[in-house]
Amino acid sequence: MQNKYYIETFGCQMNVHESEKIAGMLEALGYSPAATRDDANVIVFNTCCIRDTAEQKISGNIGELKALKREDKSRIVVIAGCMTQQKGAAEALAAKFPFIDIVLGTANLYELPAKIAELKERRARHRGKVVAISYDDNPPIDESVPVARTSYPNAWVNITYGCNNFCTYCIVPYVRGRERSREPEAIIDEIRSLLAEGYKEITLLGQNVDSYGSDRSDGVGFAELLRRIAALPGKFRLRFMTSHPKDLSEEVVSIIAETPNFCKNIHLPVQAGSDRILKAMNRKYDRAAYLGLIDKIRKYMPECGLTTDIMVGFPGETEEDFLDTVDLVKRVRYQNAFTFVYSPRRGTVAATMPDQIPYAVKRDRITRLIAVQNAITEELSGEFTGKTYEVLVEDAPKPGMLCGRTDSGRLVNFAGDRSLVGQFVDIRITGNKASALYGEIVDNG
Ligand code: SAH
Ligand code: SF4
Ligand code: F3S
């Protein structure tokens, strides 16, 4: 068991990509990936704290590491990611789980190699663990961190870090700092070399991609960045997440519509359908503005796949507010919705609002909401049957079976050889099960 690492990732795509950076740093130190936790001598948990359920699950998983650590004391257990960056959390984690060796914050993730060296030196002197959190809200962007990518044919590319929006329910601005945009040249260079390496899909990442550049003085905003990406040669797919309804501009919508390489697929979190609740959430748009934006997107791209995030049980949410959300879902007819029960996060404004909703009410509302959305998803899925779509083959989940997505973001399963991963194929849809489509490769030969 020499020099192997295992990374367990929780949370959003931002974390998935950051785990690729953790892997890159560990590989530069001479570590190689292990198949399981048991085979690794460095175990990293890249954590999330967006909801209490996430934190509970992660705490349970960290607890399981105790036995592994007892088995081999030379193992290095690292806890990184958003959970560690909450006020007082790093110390609490270190106290609750004495077998943790390194707690590393989000702002100083790039210090991992230095912290491993520090730990090894301390161990030589029989002295404890390393807790390293930076409370700098505006840390510089380190462009030199190596990346060991695991998501071919897709490549994640950060365009911004952090968030300035302070939606009242959300912990992200507290654990990820202020919004920082990468230099446009750094982004374009990275995409150019990824395409040269053979990546077929680029997904731009930011908490609010539409406000890209607002912290920079070169005048390059999201629309201009997209134009520069559109000018890159070759066939590839571009996706991005997440758009914020208050900032997604008509200019951006029109660029997506007219650029063949850009997927007609927009994730546009609405959160709630009631103006009162949207205001209390500090989302800075109302129901009418949101629905107007959806109309605009559909005018430019009638086939655009629309998905969303919705929360139920925000403080003060009445049955009427909830029914406004259900009504909005029925009007928009999303191809898919990620639905959440509101979870109070310590330090956020909403956590101290009066009229917190009892769990039983939240449970009831989310069950009803999911039923409405499932019926819509099922109906929309049925409309795909018999038609043919271009699909990028993304993975081979089991022998002889492949999966990939349509341009509009629908997941399709079909039979084929794994050598096709990374290629574009035409798939005729034969049926569906809920949101998953099934199909067969069309022989164009
Ligand atoms: N930056 C993105 C998403 C961030 S978190 C955006 O603005 O849309 C992903 C989703 O988690 C959010 O869209 C929201 O629906 C949900 N979420 C965030 N905080 C939450 C909380 N305290 N309780 C429940 N769901 C939450
Ligand atoms: Fe959270 Fe709002 Fe920022 Fe999204 S935009 S990360 S929901 S504060
Ligand atoms: Fe993402 Fe969770 Fe952090 S959703 S930004 S990993 S709190």
H or E stretch covering 189: helix 184-197
Ligand nearest to the CA of 11: 3
Counting from 1 in the atom list of ligand 1, the atom nearest the Cα of 170 is 19
pLDDT in tens, 278-320: 999 999 999 999 999 999 999 999 999 999 999 999 999 999 9
Place of tokens 């099960």: 433
Helix (H, G, I), strand (E, B) or coil at 148: coil
Kindly indicate the confidence band of residue 445, based on its pLDDT and cuts at 50, 70 and 90. Answer: low
- CB of 14 closer than 6 A to ligand 3? yes
Percent of the chain with pLDDT over 70: 99
User: Is 163 annotated in some ligand binding site?
Assistant: yes
Pocket flag, ligand 2, residue 244 (CB < 6 Å): yes
Work out which ligand 3 atom sits closest to the CA atom of 46.
6
Which tokens is 188 given?
């374009």
Closest C-alpha to 335, from 404, 245, 437, 255: 437
d(CA 377, CA 383): 10
Ligand 2 mean position to 27 CA, how many Å?
32
Mean of pLDDT values over 122-133: 90
Taking the centre of ligand 1 as the mean of its atom positions, its distance from the CA of residue 228, in whole angstroms, is: 30
Whether 80 is in the pocket of ligand 3, judged by its Cβ within 6 Å, is no
What pLDDT was estimated at residue 2? 76
Q: Is the dihedral of CA 340, 268, 388, 150 positive or negative?
A: negative
With a cut of 80, say whether residue 444 has pLDDT above it.
no
pLDDT digit string, tens, across residues 5-54: 999 999 999 999 999 999 999 999 999 999 999 999 999 999 999 999 99
Distance between CA atoms of residues 273 and 332, nearest Å: 11
Give me ligand 1 centre to Cα 295, in Å. 24
How far apart, in Å, are the Cα atoms of 437 and each of 154, 307, 376, 379?
20, 16, 14, 12
Ligand 3: distance of its center to the CA of 48 in Å?
Answer: 5
Give dist(CA 341, CA 120) in Å, integer: 42
Tokens of 298: 């559909």
HSE value, Cβ hemisphere, 13 Å, CA-based, for 397? 8
According to the model, what pLDDT value does residue 126 have?
82
Q: Could you tell me the pTM of the whole model?
A: 0.97
| Cβ–ligand 1 contact at 271 (below 6 Å) | yes
Ligand nearest to the CA of 49: 3
